Amino acid sequence: MANPATSPRGIAALHVDKLGLLVALLTGWGLGGASFATFRANRIVQGSAVEFWNALPSSLALAAMLGIVAAAAAGALGRSHLLRLASGLAGLIVVLLLIGTAAGYLTSEGDKLARVSPAAGFWLLVIAFALLIIDALSRLSVKPLVRLVILAAFYLVFGLGLAAGLWDDLSLLKEYSTRAASFWAEGRNHLVLAMGSMAAAILAGIPIGLVCYALPATRSAILNILNTIQTIPSMAMFTLLIAPLGWIATNIPGASELGIRGIGTAPAFVALFLYSLLPVVANTVAGLAGVPHNVRDAARGTGMTAWQRLARVDFPLALPTILTGIRIVLVQNIGLVTIAALIGGGGYGVFVFQGLGQMATDLVLLGALPTVLLAVSAAVVLDAVIEAASSPGAQGKAE
Amino acid sequence: MIEIENVSKRYNGLPAVKNVSMTIRAHEFVTIVGMSGSGKTTLLRMINRLVEVDEGTIKIDGVDNRDVSGPQLRRSIGYAIQQHGLFPHRSVAENIGTVPGLLGWTVEKTGERVDELLSLFQLDPAIYRDRYPHELSGGQQQRVGVARALAARPNILLMDEPFGALDPVIRNKAREDLQKIQQQLGTTIVMVTHDMEEALALGHRIAIMDGGELVQFAEPADVLRNPASEFVESLVGKGEKPFRLLAFASVEDLIEPGEASGSPISGQLSLRDALAEFVAQGKTSLPVKDENARIVGQITLDSLVRNGSGTP
Amino acid sequence: MKRLPALLRILAFVCLLAFLISPTSFAPLLSMAAQGNGPVIYERQSLWVLALQHLGIVFAATIVASAIAVAMAIFVTRRSGTELLPLARSVVNIGQTFPPVAVLALAVPATGFGVVPTFLALFLYAMLPIFENTLTGLSTLPRDVQEAAKGVGMTGTQRLFSVELPLCLPLILAGIRVAVVISLSTATIGSTVAAPTLGEVIIAGLQSNNFAYVLQGAVVVAMMAVLIHDALYALERRLSAIRSA
C-alpha cells in the first residue's frame, strides 16, 4: 500500500544496471589498463609488469580476451541471476586457467629461479567475476547448506586443478613446493590452536553464560570484564602473557613438562581462549534471555525440574544463538592465530611475518591466502550448522 | 475546498482507488470510513501527494495540487497519523516547530506558536516544551502529533486514524478536543477511520469507501436513514442504527408542554442519553430543564420512540 | 561502588599520560622485567611521538572510512542505488570474515612497506562495521517517523539530514567504535610492515628479548584501546538515551 511518492509525470529513466557498469569497468581496466602478471628473474628482485597481450601466446590472448569480454558482457547485461552466476563462474575459471598458462609461457624451459605472479589486472578480473557470483548468489538467496555444497565443489575443482599441476609454474606454488612439509605442519598448528582454544572457550563459556543468566547481579560485571579483554589489541595481549606463563613454567613444578613456556603455544592458547570467552558467554546469555516467557512458563507448568527445563527447553532454544557466538569465535580465532607467530606460536602467521621480514611477497601470500580461505570456509560451514540447528526448533521462536 | 475529480490509483495493476469524485467544502469535517484495503488511506494520501494519482485531478482551493512540488504542498497541509510519528530525537517544541522551520519562520515566531499550540492542547509549555517524545504518555504524544500538524496554520488537516493507538477513555476525550479545536479554528479536516462510531460522531459528512469505490458521501443522519447499499447498512449495524439516530437529535427538539414527575433532564441532552434516563428512572415521561435549571416542559418516551424509528 | 569504574578510568588515564610524558620515572618499576643490565625504556623514538603516530594513523583511517562508508550506505538505500544493496550486504559479510592481519599482509604487495599499507588495511577494514551499522540503521527506521517526515513536507535531503541520519547516529557510532578498536589492534601489527606505531616497541622487545620493552608497549597500547573504547561507548549511550522512543 504505502508506495513512496514518485515524481508525478517523470519518465522512467533509461535503466542502467549499476553492477553491470561496475563489472564492465573492472573488466576493461583489468584487460587494458593494468598488467596481468609480474615477472621476476628470481624470488626477491624487483619485478617487471607484463601486459595481458604479452603474458600469453598471441592467438590464445585474443581468444581469451574475447572469452572474458563475452562472459563479462553476458554477466553485465544479463537479467537472469542464473545467467549471471554462470557467466561469473565461467569468467573466473577462464581467468584462473590463464594465469597458470601465463606462468608457464613466461618462464623459459628449465629456469628454476624465475618467478611469475599475478598482478593487478588479474586481481581486477577476479574481483569483477567474483562480484557477479556474489550478487547472483545473494539475489538467489542461496541457503547456507547449499553454500556449503558450493564451497565443497570449489575445493574439489581447485584441488583437482592443483593436482593436475595447472598452476605449478606460478610463483606462489614454487614457494609452496620448497616448503610443502612446513606448510601442512603450520596449517595443522593453525587449526589446532584456533579450534583448541575455541573448544576450551565453549567448555568454560557456556557455564559462565549460565551463571550470568541465572544471577543477573553478576552479569554486567562479567560481561564488562570480557568486553575489556576483547578491546585489548591482540599483539599486546599475546606478548603480555609471555611473562606470567614464563613464571608459571619456571616456578610451578610440572608445568614445563606440560609444554607451558613463556613463548610458543601456551601464551597463544591462553590469549585466544580469553578473546573467545566474550562471544560465547554473551551469546549464551542472549540465547537464554531470548527464550519466550510463555514457553518457559509452560515448561514449568508441566512439572519439569530446573535441570530438565534447562536441558530440554532453554538450551535447545538458545542453541542457534550460542552457535552464532561460536561462529564469531572460530572466524576471529583463525585470524588471530596468525599473530601468535610473533611469539613463536606457529600457524600460517609464520609465513606472513617471515615473508614481511624478507620482503618476499610470495611467502606473505602463502601465509595470508590460506588464512583467508580458512576463515571464509569456517564461516560457511558454521552458517550451515546454525541453519541445521535452527530449522526444527526455531520456527516457533521466530514466529 | 478540496475537489477530487475522477481519481484512480493502481498498485501493481490492481486498482486501489476507482474513479472517486467528491468535493469537501471549506471548514468542513469529513470522515472517510471503510474496511482495511478499501482505499481510504490511499485516497487521503493522494490529497497531499504522498501518493500520486494515476488518473483524475485533485484541486485545492481551485488549484491543481500538482502545480507545486510535493514537499511545498505538504508544508501547507497538516498531516497527523496513527502512530503520531513524532521525531524521537527532537524535543516537543522542535517537533511542533518542524513545518514553521521548513517555511523559514523566525525563532521567536515559531516559539510563540509552539507555546500557543501547547496551551491549546492543554499541555503546559513550561513543562512540556523541552521534553522528548518518549517522556510523554500516549495521549500526550498524540496531541503533540496533531499540534505539529497544525503548527503552520494550515487550512486543511489530513488525519489517518489519529486516535487508533489510544485507550478508549483517552480516545473519547481526544475526539471531543478535536471537535472543539475544529470549531475554534475552522480548519477543514479530512479524517480516515475504520470506526463507524467515530466517523458518525465527528464527521459533518461521511464518505464510505468499499473496494476502492466511494459508495456514499452524505451527512451522518442521512447515512443512517438511507444507507446506499447493503454494505453501508452492515457497516452502520442494523441493531445499532436506532440508537445512532437518536444521538443526532437532542431533547430540545421533542420538548412539549406539560408536567412530568421525576428528576429533570437537560434540554441539551441527546435523545440517546435521554433514553438512558427513561430506563434508569423507570418513567415514560420526564421534565425538561433549561440552562438555568428552570423546568420548561416535558419529553415523553412515546415521542422519542417515534423519532428513533424514523417517523417523526 | 558505582563510581569505581569511573575512578579506575580516570586513574588509568592519568597513569598513561604520566608514563608517556615521563617514562623514565617508571624505570624502576620496569627494570624488574628487563633482561640483566639492558635498557629499560625504549629510546629509539619517544613513546609520546609513537603514541601520537599510532593514534594519528587510526583516526585518519577511521575518519576517511566513516565518510566513505556512510556515503555508500546512504547511496545503496536511496532509490538509485538499491540494485547494489544485496551485493553490498554480501561483500561486507564476506569481508568481515577476512582476518585484519591478512588484509594488512595483502596490502603490502600492492603498496610496499610503511604507513601506506597500514593505512589501507585499516581503512578497508574500518569501512565494514561502519557500513553495516549505517545500513542497518537506515533500513530499520520506524515507519511512522519516515511517514511523518514526508507528511510535514520535508524534501529527500531534508529527511536524510534532519531525521534519518540523526536517528542512526548511535548505530553509526557503534560501528565506528568497533572499527576503532580493530584499527588500534591492526595498527600495532602495522609496525611489522614498518609503520611507525607503538607495535615497534613490542617488536623491539621481542627481538632483543627485553621484556621491559614488550611490557611498556603492550600496556600503553592496551590502555589506549580500553580508554578510547570506553569513551566512545559512553558517548553512544548518551546519544541513544535521548532517542529511545
A356-384 pLDDT tens trace:
888 888 898 899 999 999 999 999 999 99
CA distance to partner chain B, nearest, from residue A17 (Å)? 22
Distance from CA of C153 to the nearest CA of B (A): 4
Q: What share of chain A has pLDDT > 90, as a percent?
A: 32
Chain C contact for B49, CB < 8 A? no
Judge whether B2-237 and B244-308 match in fold: no
Do A130 and A191 lie in one domain? The reply is no
Residue A11, pLDDT > 60, answer no
Quick check: A5 and B49 CB within 8 A? yes
Q: Does domain B244-308 have CATH number 3.30.1330.10?
A: no
Exposed e or buried b per residue across B24-59, where buried means at least 16 C-beta atoms within 10 angstroms of its C-beta = beeebbbbbbbeeebbbbbbbbbbbbbbbbeebebb
- If one counts the domains in chain A, the total is 2
In a domain, residue A354? The reply is yes
Domain containing A257: what range? Answer: 180-398
Per-residue pLDDT tens digits for C173-205: 999 999 999 999 999 999 988 889 999 999 888
A197 and A290 fall within a common domain: yes
Q: What is the pLDDT of residues C55-82, one digit of tens each?
A: 999 999 999 999 999 999 999 998 888 8
- Is residue A11 in some structural domain? no
Question: Measuring CA to CA, which residue among A149, A119, A125 is closest to residue A137?
Answer: A149
The mean pLDDT value for A82-108 works out to 88
Q: How far is C243 from chain A (nearest CA, A)?
A: 23
- β-sheet bridge partners, residue B189: B29, B157
Share of chain A above pLDDT 70, in %: 92
Across the range A140-151, mean pLDDT stands at 87
Give domain status of residue A113, yes or no: yes
Contact residues on chain B for C243, CB-CB shorter than 8 A? 88-89, 132, 134
Indicate if the pLDDT at residue C244 is higher than 80.
no
**What cell numbers appear for B64 in the block?**
491543481
Long-range contacts at A139-148 (CB < 8 A, ≥ 24 apart): A139/A81, A139/C86, A140/A81, A140/A82, A140/A85, A143/A387, A144/A380, A144/A383, A144/A384, A144/A386, A144/A387, A145/A384, A145/A387, A145/A388, A147/A380, A147/A383, A147/A384, A148/A380, A148/A381, A148/A383, A148/A384
Phi, psi of A220 (to 5 degrees): -70, -35
Among A205-214, C14-23, C102-111, the range with the most confident prediction by mean pLDDT is: A205-214
Residues of C within 8 A of A336 (CB-CB) are 99, 101
Taking the C-alpha atoms of residue A93 and residue A87, their distance in angstroms, rounded to an integer, is 10
Residue A175 lies in a domain: no
| Shared domain check, A298 and A207 | yes
- Are both A387 and A343 inside the same structural domain? yes
Strand ranges for chain B from DSSP E: 2-11, 14-24, 29-33, 55-60, 63-64, 77-81, 156-160, 188-193, 205-210, 213-218, 265-266, 285-289, 295-300
The reported pLDDT for the residue numbered C60 is: 96
Asked whether residue A375 falls in the same domain as residue A266, the answer is yes
Domain B2-237 has CATH 3.40.50.300: yes
CA A83 to chain C, closest CA, distance in angstroms equals: 16
Q: Which residues contact B65 (CB under 8 A, 6 or more apart)?
A: B47, B48, B49, B58, B59, B73
10 Å CB burial of residue A307 (0-12, 13-18, 19+) is: exposed
- Structural domain contains residue A7: no
Using CB atoms, list chains with 3+ pairs below 8 Å to chain A: B, C
Q: What is the pLDDT of residue B310?
A: 55
Q: At how many degrees (to 10) do helices A315-340 and C100-111 cross?
A: 40
Handedness of CA A86, A87, A91, A92 (dihedral sign): negative
Rounded (5°) CA angle A374-A379-A383:
150
Whether the pLDDT of residue A332 is over 50: the answer is yes
Q: Among A174-183, C28-37, C45-54, C142-151, which stretch is predicted with the lowest mean pLDDT?
A: C28-37
Contact (CB, 8 A) for C182 and C125: yes
Residues A45 and A144 in one domain: yes
State residue C29's pLDDT score.
76
* Strands ordered across the beta sheet of B265-266: B265-266, B285-289, B295-300
pLDDT digits (tens, 9 = 90+) for A185-231: 999 999 999 999 999 999 999 999 999 998 988 998 899 899 989 99
- In terms of domains, do A159 and A184 share one? no
Q: What is the pLDDT of residue C57?
A: 95
- Minimum-distance CB partner of A5 among B16, B41, B51: B51
pLDDT of residue B155: 92
Q: Is residue A6 part of a domain?
A: no
Structural domain contains residue A151: yes
pLDDT at residue number A278: 94
CA distance B41 to chain A (A): 9
pLDDT higher than threshold 50 for residue C107 = yes
pLDDT band at A395, cuts 50/70/90? Answer: very low
Q: Which residues pair with B156 in a beta bridge?
A: B77, B188
CB < 8 Å to B44, chain A = none
CB–CB contact C154 B72 (8 Å): no
Residue of A nearest to B65 (CA): A8
End of a domain among A166, A191, A219? A166
Is C119's pLDDT higher than 90? yes
ipTM: 0.86
Residue spans of the domains in chain B: they are 2-237, 244-308
pLDDT at C1: 46
CB atoms within 10 A of CB A312: 12
pLDDT, residue A4, reads 41
pLDDT on residue B214: 93
pLDDT value of residue A13: 37
Percent helix, strand, coil in chain C, to 5, is 85, 0, 15
Res A14: pLDDT: 39
- Is A6 an interface residue toward B (CB < 8 Å)? yes
Q: Confirm whether A8 is domain-assigned.
A: no
Is the CB of A6 less than 8 angstroms away from the CB of B70? no
What average pLDDT does range A294-312 have in this prediction? 85
In angstroms, the separation between the Cα of residue C218 and the nearest Cα of chain A is 4
Side-by-side strand order, sheet with B156-160:
B77-81, B156-160, B188-193, B29-33, B205-210, B213-218
C109 interfaces chain A, CB cutoff of 8 Å: yes
User: What is the mean pLDDT for each group of 10 consecutive residues in chain B (312 residues)?
Assistant: 93 90 94 91 93 93 91 91 85 93 92 93 92 90 91 92 83 88 92 89 92 91 85 79 77 81 82 83 83 83 74 46
Alpha carbon A7 to chain centroid distance? 44
B69 and A CB contact within 8 Å: no
Report chain A residues whose CB lies below 8 A from the CB of C1.
none
Cβ contact, residue pair A8, B66, below 8 Å? yes
Contact (CB<8Å) A120/C110: yes
Q: Give phi and psi for B55, each to the nearest 5.
A: -135, 155
Q: Specify the higher pLDDT residue, B302 or A180.
A: A180
Which C residues 15-34 touch A at CB under 8 Å? 33
pLDDT above 60 for C18: yes
The whole-chain average pLDDT of chain A stands at 85
Domains assigned to chain C: 49-243 (1.10.3720.10)
Question: Can you spell out the DSSP letters for C52-108?
Answer: HHHHHHHHHHHHHHHHHHHHHHHHHHSGGGGGGHHHHHHHHHHHHHS-HHHHHHHHH
Rounded mean pLDDT, A249-264: 74
Q: Is residue A244 located within the same domain as residue A380? A: yes
Q: Using a CB-CB distance cutoff of 8 angstroms, which residues of chain C are in contact with residue A342?
A: 192, 203, 206
Lowest mean pLDDT across A107-121, A154-168, C110-124: A107-121
Distance between A145 CA and the closest CA of chain C, angstroms: 16
Q: Write out chain A residues lying below 8 Å of C184, CB-based.
A: 233
| List of long-range contacts for B11-20, beta carbons under 8 Å, 24+ apart | B11/A1, B11/A3, B15/B212, B16/A1, B16/B42, B16/B212, B17/B42, B17/B43, B17/B46, B17/B212, B18/B211, B18/B212, B18/B213, B19/B55, B19/B56, B19/B213, B20/B56, B20/B209, B20/B212, B20/B213, B20/B214
Model pTM above 0.90? no
Residues A160 and A214 in one domain: no
Q: In the predicted model, what is the mean pLDDT of residues A32-57? A: 83
Asked if C226 lies within 8 A of A232 by C-beta distance, the reply is yes
pLDDT band at A307 (very low <50, low <70, confident <90, very high): confident
pLDDT at residue C245 is higher than 60: no
The reply to whether B7 touches chain A by the CB within 8 Å rule is no
A160 and A211 in a single domain? The answer is no
